[in-house]
Amino acid sequence: MSFSTRTTTTKMQILLLFLVIQLCHGSNDTVSISLKRHTLNVGGTSFVGLKNFDGVVFYGEISVGSPPQKFNVVFDTGSTDLWVPSKEWPEETDHKHPKFDKDASKTCRLMKGAEVNIAYETGSVVGILAQDNVNVGGVVIKSQDLFLARNPDTYFRSVKFDGVLGLGIKSSRAQGSVTVWENMVKQKLITKPIFSLYLRPHKGDGGEDPNGGQIMFGGFDPKQFKGEHVYVPMKLSDDRWKIKMSKIYINGKPAINFCDDVECTAMVDSGSTDIFGPDEAVGKIYKEIGATKVIIRCEQFPALPDIYFEIGGKHLRLTKHDYVEVKTNPKKSCRLRIVKSKNRRKDWVLGEAFMTKFHTVFDYGDVKTPRIGFAEAI
């Protein structure tokens, strides 16, 4: 952002100009966006409400094109592609969505190539690759690759959010595209190649909670967590934000030591609702806490023990309030948020149920040794 000012020689005018520049750019060169509205973080200490829909998904506002067209997107560390609905997005959906009009944007350019199927463990869309300016938290990424989506499956016809902004590692992106995260670093829009997620538990019984947390690019806010982060190296052999895990403790004893024979990993995934694990390991947890399936009797809730995940040599504690979802409308129900993987995968997935408890930093400062940090969220 530039300023047009006339030359002055007075100390007061120079001081005022300095303050204006500081307020606009921020002293730490960090960018914060909310899942409620568009904001520019000043000095890395501002808090703006995030949207948490029904305790299962977090999303926030970005804009695409010139003039800007606004969309609410999920910031997903488990994928890499950015897509928003195109004008071909169907009207028959559970929630109304804005549709990107490429002809209304002076900076949009369609790229050559066939349509791409963008699939997740749950849900898929079809998209065509384009480039346009994308505004994320007040920072404009020039000529950013994105997909103009159509043909959503049943899942994406039912969701509240409009699109997905992937924050995963570049090698899992769609062929020929450059991710938002890569371009932020490449275009030197942030001083430090890190971003952090602060996800707050849903308040109320369903619907949209506007006070859902914060995502920050270029830094983190120490007011959002207690103590220090424990950092764990990322698994370089994979293309996702994966880390090594070791044991799970229940009531102070190791209930599962599932990494003795085979090195196990966990993907830190803000696009997944729960904590997913291998069938056998999750079954052992259920047995230890007196459960037989994901739905439990609410009478069991008061007696449920704390569960500790050992990561980076530290015991990260989840209480029953963290790993059990309690609903009271239309009637009371209790559901475990540690569940068996749908595709029988061997890796664990630490989704929102875990990340809500722990402020998470994704640090790519050293490309040879990227790392992820966890600290108890406030």
- Tell me which residues are annotated as active site: 76, 269
Q: How far apart are CA 369 and CA 376, in angstroms?
A: 23
Q: How far apart are CA 306 and CA 287, in angstroms?
A: 14
Angle (CA) 251-255-258 rounded to 5° is 145
Q: How far apart are CA 339 and CA 288, in angstroms?
A: 14
Task: For 126, list phi and psi in degrees, rounded to 5.
Answer: -115, 135
Print the SS3 string covering 263-316. Answer: CCEEEECCCCCCEEECHHHHHHHHHHHCCCCCEECHHHHHHCCCEEEEECCEEE
**How far, in whole angstroms, is CA 24 from its chain's centroid?**
26
Q: How far apart are CA 67 and CA 5, in angstroms?
A: 25
From the list 202, 83, 72, the residue with the least C-alpha distance to 144 is 83
Only one residue has tokens 């569960």, namely: 307
